[in-house]
Amino acid sequence: MTFRISVGPWETLQPDAQAIRQEVFVIEQQVPPEIELDDMDAVCVHAVAYDAGNAAIATGRLLPDGHIGRMAVRKAGRGQGIGSAVLKALMAAARERGDSEVVLNAQTHAEPFYVAHGFVREGEQFMDAGIPHIHMRAALK
């Protein structure tokens, strides 16, 4: 699948990022909508992947403290390297602004995906929005 990644502020990417997150988190995973959106979006660097037809298919965000979150890929885009491209774009943005590491709270089923990108598990599993998660960290080279 051919795709491109746009990295930018919430003001620019909100319509596409929010639609993906609504579909994946709120509808598919039944995360309550009131906890899916938060005030941090306005201060984050966002990444959105678009397919060859310019449809938004994946998103993620980088918080000012180096935390990566809200990683989501629509069903049609899964397993094709799009999530990896979004993650790499966010890690590159963190590196470019001078961050030495990034952290994230991964859904436990996604641990192998993040390990493949240099993340290491820290601590015990915990629940967030009714979904098991683990804390992970990666050094930026």
Q: What is the pLDDT of residues 34-82, one digit of tens each?
A: 889 899 999 999 999 999 999 999 999 999 999 999 999 999 999 999 9
Q: What pLDDT score does 129 carry? A: 87
CA distances from 28 to 38, 74, 116 (A): 19, 10, 25
Task: Give the distance, in angstroms, between the CA of residue 39 and the centroid of all CA atoms in the same chain.
Answer: 16
Identify the residue with better confidence: 1 or 32.
Answer: 32
The domains found in the chain, sorted by start residue, are 3-139 (3.40.630.30)
Residues written for the chain: 141
Q: What percent of the chain is modeled with pLDDT above 90?
A: 92
Q: What pLDDT score does 44 carry? A: 98
Please, what is the average pLDDT of the chain? 95
pTM of the full structure: 0.95
Pairing of strands 56-62, 45-51: antiparallel
pLDDT(1) > 80: no
Q: Answer whether 91's CB lies under 8 Å from 78's CB.
A: no
pLDDT interval class at 5 (50, 70, 90)? very high
pLDDT in tens, 72-131: 999 999 999 999 999 999 999 999 999 999 999 999 999 999 999 999 999 999 999 889
